[in-house]
Structure 1
Amino acid sequence: MRGNDGMLPEEFDLLVLGLGKTGLAVAEWAADHMGGRVRSACLYGGAKAAPSDRTRALEERGVRCVLGTEEVEGAFDVCVASPGISEFSDFFASARAHASEIMGEPEFAYRLSPDRWIAVTGTNGKTTTTSLVDHILNASGMPSHAVGNIGSVPTAAVDAREPGSWFSAELSSYQLACSSLLHPRVSVLLNITPDHLAWHRSLEAYAAAKRRIFARQEPGDLVIVCVEDAGSAAALDEARATGAAVCELSHEDTFADCAAFVEDGVLTCRLRGAEMELVRTDELCIAGAHNELNALAAAAAALWVGAPLSAVRRALTTFQPLEHRIEPVAVVDGVRYVNDSKATNTDAVEKALTAFPSEPVVLLLGGSDKGTPLEAFAERVAASTVRTVICFGDARARLLAALEGPAGASGVELMEAADLAAAVSTAHGCARPGDVVLLSPACASFDEFSGFEERGRRFKELVADLAARG
């Protein structure tokens, strides 16, 4: 176990911000420890929060629930803020004024259980990579729990965590922004491209939050940085300054002492002076150049902490695509339908298109507009295997306008649909046998749906309806 300097007091008064999954999980942990580690606990739900069965149950267990306001009162030793609450918000500022220390939930969980963490972040790819780390470790006989932005809220998993087990943690920029002592044994920085700027206020603040993942690392630890991505490559010097080993992740061998790359179609890692061939890229069940990098990062992380090479090889070939991430749905009338609803930004769509290097693609773009610049994206879509783009939802007019010039120059057909259902119907009408209909929207989903998960499941329902009719 690492030292306890700066960890939580033996007893403390706890403030929790937010009534979502994270806030409720921390409040329920507090209820379990009331009268012991926790002297008192107060959950502030926010201005729009209303009582529920869970808040009433928490009240019965001694947690005070304050709903309908963001003006915090009282004095607290520790405040845990849910990731949806921006550090620039008035709610966050009010809490900071009434707590000795404020932090994100993963930081809180780390201080409760600070040993054996592997942490993954990036604008795109972090769920797949974290799931792969978890899959490889468990397949290697090294117990692991997927936590953070994926799986369990870390705090909820702390008490049941068995000795010697690992936390494979997917951490968002929101969660990292308020971390200070978080110290993973291995960290992974996949990429940094513009996203969540409304929360962070600037790309610089967003990137700084991502880089906090390795800020506390030291000699003996490993930082994995994708050097193909300009945003993450810019963090190399800062990562090296920690004294940790830095593994350069890329499709090409950078000839660094520590590297993960593809050589002659084989995933390869060079760690601690030993070069190891893993598996051929065509043995992976997950498609796309970006998933080759995700697999390399996960394998390097697992190998660093002691996973046997033979187990890593087996696990890489058995890992299946995750829901909403280049997920095969069905073949209807000779056309493959693929659900990539998680692609809520342009960078994710560009990565998804690498999974189809030779197949004509009917691309479904649209949803609620994030206001992302589209000029470079439009050029890359026009230069890909995309044959037809169907723009739908609230963002369709801006997408069509951006694509019009590059599409006209390259012969890409542009079509328009009011919503997702109309887009699927249009795709069914224009797709030919051998085509791929790819839902990879480059937009948020809130014009029609509660989130990308609901959007992806609706897409699958629509495709199932097509198959049933066919």
Structure 2
Amino acid sequence: MPLADVFSLLVLGQGKSGLDVARWALAHPERVSTVTVYGGGTSEPNDATRALEAAGASFVYGTEQVEGAYDVCVTCPGISEFSGFFKAGREHAAQIMGEPEFAYRLSPDNWIAITGTNGKTTTTSLTDYLLKAAGEASVAVGNIGEPPINEIDGRAHNEWFVAELSSYQIATTTELHPRVAVLLNITPDHLGWHKSHKNYALAKIKLFDNMVDDDLVVVDVEDAGIHEFDEYIYTPGRRICKVAFDEPEGADAAFVRDGKMVVRLKGVETQLVATSELKISGHHNVINALCAATAALAVGADVDGVRRGLASFQPLEHRVEPCGEIDGVRYVNDSKATNTDAVEKALTAFPDDDVILLLGGHDKGTPLTDFARVVMDNVRSVVCFGDARERFTAAMDEADVDGDVDIAQADDLRDAVDVARSLSSRGDVILLSPACSSFDEFSGYEERGRVFKDYVAQLAAAAKSQME
């Protein structure tokens, strides 16, 4: 159902995207007749909401009991579609959607959408970078930075929106129709919001619902979690590019041949760069780069520009990010790895190195048996820290059947770095890839990563001063 020329707007939630939608609506009185925001059950006024009230929005605080009738309801991503708050919005509005869907309805041309449990931000950032390197107008939106709604008014002619979308955001879409959609992987996550792993996976796959044979679906066919849902992905009339390290069959594929990245679209192959030229490390990042290059080439990006971009793109902060060397030991910040799948992918970046792995933080209760076996096969030492240290240590001890991996504990992150240093030798890699959220000690993975890097810098400065 298209948006009316003029409509009344209900916003659920007063998070960033909700307030940004309200702000856009107030700037467009020719489109939006009234703006009403229900902040939620525990909401209270703040400086941002007061400013919007002064500009003409109506705010209702401290309740999820919606009253009135509205043409359009836009929900913040933290509000589950199974919640009473969401249901109340649906009952009182003719249409309900998330912010990306709302932005798409307002500006539907030239969207590339990227989702997956892990790797979304790197792949989104790289796709945007490749398009720019090829001379295309492009902006990365969604979870990676600004909500799409904030880029609508200043959008350049033929500019690409490269959107990093979460399962929350896709679940509430009905008309979103990207030209290219990328699915990187599926591992269990956000089960509290979605109520089941199947619901979570199908929310990701819903990204493809409106795509036709002129569009391109890009899928990592190596991922076992994706394979579980093949019946929902491989449907008639859907054009799919299979991505894997080893060459898949089909007219549309992306892979590595003789050490070089290759993208095949409609049977025509394009050789790109050697994987050794990438500055982002690990098997998973080769897959991410193949997906990004496929998306860029599929929308007509210049091949030479894509090659230049692949060779010059730098690692993102907190994602297998090199952050220093002390006494011949390299330190790597992968604080964004808040689940076990992300840690397993990070370990592929160091196939020939002795790794001392820092694991821990706020325990999410993730099953650890299989993960611990993978860790034992790929590291020399493990330091478990934070609230999760006891359970992680027990799992690692049980998996270390040969007794050849050093397993230690630490109270907090800095203590874990000190313990890791004491276990290290020249040539080792100390890798913070914690498989946990950070809320036992930090406000988020970003703060955890910055603290890690700052502490490494302090240690490096101290080591240097001792040598002088």
Q: Aligned AA for 1:202?
A: S
The CA RMSD measured in Å over matched residues stands at 1.2
Q: Distance in 1 between matches of 2:385 and 2:294?
A: 40
The code of the aligned residue for 1:27 comes to A
Q: Give how far 1:49 is off.
A: 2.1
Q: 2:189 matched to which residue of 1?
A: 195
Give the whole-Å Cα distance in 2 for the aligned partners of 1:344 and 1:54: 30
Q: Which runs of 4+ in 1 moved over 6 A?
A: none
> 1:48-67 counterparts in 2 under 5 A?
48-67=42-61
Kindly indicate whether residue 400 of structure 2 is the aligned counterpart of residue 407 of structure 1: yes
Q: Which amino acid aligns with 1:430?
A: L
Of 401, 418, 424, the residue aligned with 1:425 is 418
Q: Determine if contact 2:134/2:301 at 8 Å carries over to the other structure.
A: yes
Which amino acid in the other structure matches residue 164 of structure 1?
A: N
Unaligned runs of 5+ in 1: 1-5
The residue aligned with 2:158 is 164
Q: When the two structures are aligned, how many residues end up with a matched partner?
A: 463
String of CA shifts for 1:48-86, please: whole Å, max 9, x gaps.
222222111101111112222222222111111111111
State the one-letter code of the partner of 2:423: C
Q: Which amino acid aligns with 1:233?
A: H
What's 1:468 paired with? Answer: 461
Q: 1:409 to 1:198 in 2, by over 3 A?
A: farther
> In structure 1, what is the equivalent of residue 2 of structure 2?
7
Q: Which moved more, 1:37-46 or 1:349-358?
A: 37-46
2:466 corresponds to: none
1:178-216, Cα deviation, whole Å (9 max, x unpaired): 111100000000100111111111100000000011111
Tell me, what secondary structure is at the counterpart of 2:2? coil
Structure 1 partner of 2:128: 134
Query: Does the 8 Å contact 1:383/1:410 carry over to 2?
Result: no
Pick from 213, 216, 225: which aligns with 2:219?
225
Question: How does the TM-score come out when normalised to structure 1?
Answer: 0.96
For 1:207-356, list aligned pairs within 5 A: 207-241=201-235, 243-356=237-350
Cα deviation, 1:235-283, whole Å, max 9, x if unaligned, reads 4443342523210010111122110011111111111211111110000
Deviation per CA, 1:112-144: give whole Å up to 9, x if none.
100100000000111101111100111111100
Listed as ranges, the matches of 1:338-417 within 5 Å are: 338-384=332-378, 386-409=379-402, 411-417=404-410
Contact 2:134–2:303 under 8 Å retained in 1: no
Mapped to 1, the partners of 2:368 and 2:344 lie a distance apart of: 12
C-alpha distance after superposition, 1:321-364 (max 9, x if no partner): 00000011111121111110110100000000000001111101
Structure 1 stretch 286-295 or stretch 155-164: which is displaced more? Answer: 155-164
The residue type equivalent to 1:25 in the other structure is D
d(CA) in 1 for partners of 2:236, 2:339 = 31
User: Per-residue deviation at 1:446?
Assistant: 1.2
Assess if the C-alpha contact under 8 Å between 1:368 and 1:445 holds in 2: yes
CA drift of 1:102 comes to: 1.3
Task: Point out the more displaced range, 389-398 or 425-434.
Answer: 425-434
Tell me the residue number matched to 1:111.
Answer: 105
**1:407–1:413 Cα contact (<8 Å) kept:** no
1:459 counterpart residue number: 452
Percent of aligned positions with the same letter in both sequences?
A: 58
- Paired AA for residue 459 in structure 1: F
Query: In the alignment, which residue of structure 2 is the partner of 1:447?
Result: 440
Letter in 1 for 2:146: S
CA distance in 2, matches of 1:445, 1:71: 33
More displaced stretch, 124-133 vs 457-466 = 457-466
Deviates more, 1:15-24 or 1:356-365: 15-24
Match of 1:29 among 17, 24, 38: 24
Contact preservation (8 Å) 1:215, 1:239: no
Partner amino acid, structure 2, of 1:15? L
Question: C-alpha separation between the residues in 1 aligned to 2:341 and 2:403?
Answer: 21
Contact 1:225 1:233 in 2 (8 A): no
**2:358 touches 2:385 (CA, 8 Å); kept in 1?**
yes
Change (3 A) 1:338 1:332: same
Distance 1:133 1:243 in 2: 25
Q: Is the 8 A contact 2:369 2:399 kept in 1?
A: no
Q: Does the aligned pair in 2 maintain the 1:217–1:242 contact within 8 Å?
A: no
Kept in 2: contact 1:185–1:217 (CA 8 A): yes
Cα deviation 1:139-175 (Å, max 9, x = unaligned): 1111001001112100111111011100000001111
How far apart are residue 409 of structure 1 and its match?
Answer: 2.2
Report matched runs for 1:77-92 at 5 Å: 77-92=71-86
Instruction: For residue 220 of structure 1, give the secondary structure of its aligned residue in structure 2.
Output: coil
Gaps of 5+ in 2: 464-468
Q: Give the CA deviation at 1:234.
A: 3.9
Distance 2:201 2:332 in 1: 31
Q: Match of 2:380, SS? A: strand
Residue 437 of structure 1: aligned partner: 430
Which residue is equivalent to 1:3? none
Q: Secondary structure, in 3 states, of the residue corresponding to 1:129? A: helix
Residue 292 of structure 1: how far off its partner (Å): 0.2
Q: How far does residue 427 in structure 1 lie from its aligned partner after superposition?
A: 1.4
